[in-house]
Amino acid sequence: MKRDINYHERSHYYSTKFMRSSKAVGVLWGIFTMCYSILAIVVFLQDQWIGDSDNSKGPGNFGIWRWCTDSQDGREICRGRLDDFGTILSPAFRAATVFTGLACIISILCVVAFILFFMCRSSDVFKICGSMQFLSGICLAIGILSFPAGWDNEEVRGVCGPMADDYKLGTCGIRWGFVLAVIAFFDSIILGCLALTLATKKLKFLEEPAYMNPSSMYQGEINPGFLGDNMSLAGSRKSAGLQPVMLMPHGPQDDRYSEYSHPTARSNQSPYRTGPQVHHNFQL
């Protein structure tokens, strides 16, 4: 029937739709992966994780490895270098620098791994990149959690006041760099889950019906040319539940009629009487 979609056409339709949607999601995943790498680099380089507020003792802002304060003449003085870890304020800031830097490096390697799409199966590449994104997110989370442990440093207290302590900002406030780091962490986790989903999701074909299977023994299950009101007369043996029989006429049998019913010589000469009739009984 026209309204019934052929099984192979339906499978082709769903497989084509699945491939198109998978490619679209994969492209979006690649774009957001590059955005995450940019976010991680910006978070690592910025010194706007925490900073002064209206109630602070003085102006200043701090990052994980670099901090800036204002001098007496109003000029901004920034200190802290990556090539000299001794210039970083505290061990907690050093740990945050190391793990955040690892998160940046892993995110960059994940973007470089896009080249593997030309050499390996896409599912394997998605698994590799998804694992790297999870690892990058874990490193970034450790950096985020390590950073507040260094707020008890004297340089931080010089800006945020004596109330500043581990995981206590005092009179300072959270800046956009810290918020961006938290957003980047959730971004990495979401991208990792999406990559592993794309790597493990496969197209499942519908089971082919029995009457469309070429190996089926009932080749005449559907016979629209000989269908009656409720079943086929000469079509499906499966639906009718009949066994094939041979149609043969019955042989001669003894006449069991009354002797008065036998034809006589006079009745044979009747013009209204036809020739001998032969009765055949057939078995269906």
Residues in the chain: 284
Looking up tokens 């019955």 gives 250
- Number of Cα atoms under 13 Å in the Cβ half of residue 161: 13
Could you tell me the pTM of the whole model? 0.66
Which pLDDT belongs to residue 232? 45
d(CA 222, CA 218): 9
Q: The tokens of 117 are what?
A: 């799409």
| Sheet with 60-62, edge to edge strand ranges | 76-79, 67-70, 60-62, 50-51, 173-174
Hey, which residues does 60 pair with through a beta bridge? 69
d(CA 211, CA 264): 62
Which pLDDT belongs to residue 12? 52
Q: Residue 209: what are its φ and ψ, rounded to 5°?
A: -60, 155
d(CA 161, CA 270): 140
Other beta carbons less than 10 A from residue 51's beta carbon: 24
Say if strands 76-79 and 50-51 run parallel, antiparallel, or are unpaired: unpaired
pLDDT tens across the length of the chain (284 residues): 444 455 455 555 555 655 667 788 899 999 999 999 999 999 999 999 999 988 888 889 999 999 998 766 667 889 999 999 989 999 999 999 999 999 999 999 999 999 999 999 999 999 999 999 999 999 999 999 999 999 999 999 999 999 999 999 999 999 999 999 999 999 999 999 999 999 987 645 445 444 444 544 444 444 455 444 444 444 444 444 445 555 555 555 555 544 555 555 555 555 555 555 555 554 44
Which pLDDT belongs to residue 1? 45
- Under DSSP, is residue 155 helix (H, G, I), strand (E, B) or coil? helix
